[in-house]
A = this chain, B = another copy of it.
Amino acid sequence: MSDERLLCQLDFLLEADALKHVERRSWLLGEQRRENAAEHSWHVALLALVLAEHADEPVDAARVVAMMLVHDLVEIDAGDTFRYDDVGNRDREERERRAADRIFALLPSDQGGSLRALWDEFEAGESPEARFAAAIDRLMPLLQGHATHGRTWREHGITRDRVLERNRPIGAASKALWQAARARIEDAVKRGWLAEGDRD
């Protein structure tokens, strides 16, 4: 194996350090500060490991874990786009695609190509692994929202209808996780942490 190959890999891994500076909207459970995208990536990779058995279609848990490890790397360039922000989401895909072009190309081409393909698969959301990855990527902020008494929802005036709509991919991947998610949404409404929205 050439030195050049390893040096490229180490450059990519040092570049990845920047994900620790990308702030998300979710609050940590103690509400001391918001979460960053690197610790979020670790947390959802742990979810993949622990919750894969709840996928309605069988999934390769190791592939879902790998997907979670790379799914937010594009945010190093593109930043975190709050998914309830309609304006920011208009050009999100284009910004993230350009970021993926740059970041995965830091790796040796065979390996960069494989990880880029895994990211593309996650974005396309069509394989069982990508559907399950999308589900846990939404489930964690929902659990955090409930555990922090709806802090992010209250800050941004998010209502139950929008939370249900945003989290529908959980239901597409796992009946069990969707049931648990809905129970927390309804509990948050009942406790006054999440506004009911227009329909009620």
Task: Name A residues whose Cβ lies closer than 8 Å to a Cβ of B.
Answer: 1, 3, 6-7, 9-10, 12-14, 16-21, 28-30, 32, 35-36, 38-39, 41-43, 45-47, 49-51, 53-54, 62, 65-66, 69-70, 107, 111, 115, 140, 143-144, 147, 176-177, 179-180
Contact = CB atoms under 8 A, between A and B. Distances in A.
Copies in the complex: 2
A3 B18 CA distance: 39
Given A42-B42, A180-B6, A14 B143 contact: yes
A12 to B, nearest CB: 7
Contacts of A107: 50
Contacts of A20: 28, 35, 39, 43
Contacts of A115: 49
Contacts of A21: 28, 30, 32
Nearest to A7: B180
Nearest to A73: B46
A139 B74 CA distance: 24
Nearest to A65: B65
A147 B14 contact: yes
**Main SS class of interface, A:** helix
Given A54-B6, A69-B49, A16 B43 contact: yes
Most chain-B CB neighbours within 10 Å: which of A6, A36, A47? A6
A6 B143 CA distance: 13
A36 B39 CA distance: 9
Contacts of A50: 9, 12-13, 107, 111
